[in-house]
Chain A
Amino acid sequence: MRSFIRRYPRMVIGASIILAVICLAIAAPILFPFSPWEMRGAPFEPPGSPGFILGSDALGRDIAAGLAHGTWVSLLIGGVSTLASLGIGISLGALAGYVGGRVDDAVMRFAEFFQTIPSFLLAILLVAIFRPSIFSIITAIALVSWPPVARVVRAEFLSLRKREFVQAAEVLGVSHFRIVWQTLLPNALPPVIVLGSLMVANAVLTESALSFLGLGDANWMSWGFLVGSGRSVIRIGWWISVLPGVAIVITVLGLNLLGEGLQTWLNPRLSKRDLP
């Protein structure tokens, strides 16, 4: 164990941070057994005021409670949107890498298209046009973040396909589906796992940026929502935006450390170009 820590210090630090964040999410209802939307006192109370460890917002809501309750919404948005974009990316990448030829070409052009256009602007457009809701936010994030996954999976598939065990399976008449599902995918997974942890971090950042621009879901208290609600009153109550921002930094830092640690641990072939 000790040698593991010494060998992969980043991964351990990252994992500890994420674990702590998850604990906070779980403990939120115990620490703050009331709705984070509840107005519990005077507005614009600075951090450290009686009853408000981290201050209160423009409506007298408790920032600390909002932070704690918002944790799981932020993680949920990060996690679900990452799963969705992994789904898209793996399917398309596998298709391109396995079938090859024109299909490969088409998929790669498609991915290139999504990678070149200003993706954050596209996400803004999607959320604005389809109304800010937790669903549209997750969809938008997933839609703009799948191309790296597709690229990585495709590259893995291309190199794996030439390997003897895959060619042997083909000669033996194993169905394409089984080859992809049982032989190729498991071997292509390590870099995807690494990418996944970095994508959760990116999704948390994107959600907060969307919320900052006023595109958060008003029914779900998330860190991004807190940050956005403080934007216009930054000169009166800086803590409303800054403290949730710090929570985002810590979490994203943890996820990045975890991802880097995983990368050295699993040592997959992951091109720098594909890192988000």
Chain B
Amino acid sequence: MTADAEAILGEIRAALPNAAVSLLKNPGPAAQHSLRVGNDDLLRVAAFLRDQLAFDLLSNATGVDWPEAEKADAVAIPEAEAGTAESGFLETVYHLYSTSKRIGPLVLRARTADRGDNACIPSLVSIYRSAEFQEREIFDLYGIVFTGHPDLRRILMWDEFVDHPMRKDYVAPDDYEYEPTPHDDVLEKAKKHYPANP
């Protein structure tokens, strides 16, 4: 049974009046509406959801890259007073379930300030241990820095890798396959990577 995001928003507002939480509507047939939580309040809200509303299972945590903010507003439509999204950003989406009440998913979203050096979101590992590897994966593939994560390292890519391959503007290298006799387009690309024949 899908959690009623609107009712839960009411409970959060009643218990944590200062928390920056707003409802984002999902226009699709799934109608899984989500709650956007401000980064400063993310840990408080997550702890409230876990301890008071019995959302004990953080099933899924994932990153999304939104270089164009309008697209994000089309998928998760903000309420009128909350205002539309700013310039491009990175987002994490969490799917919470309650194993005792058997409801879910409750969708939480947190957004970074930009896609550059301020791409930070507080880590939820202290509240949900299951975020540990998933946040490492988001860090690896999207470059979101989870402040407070106990062991933030690359997990799927190798440690020396630079850049974050799941970003929309990532350009795959063209030297991933060695070509013994390059010609045409491949030759042009190969010139960038291999020294010319003497």
B partners with A:
no
Chain B contact residues, CB within 8 Å of chain A: none
Q: Which residues of A line the B interface, CB within 8 A? A: none
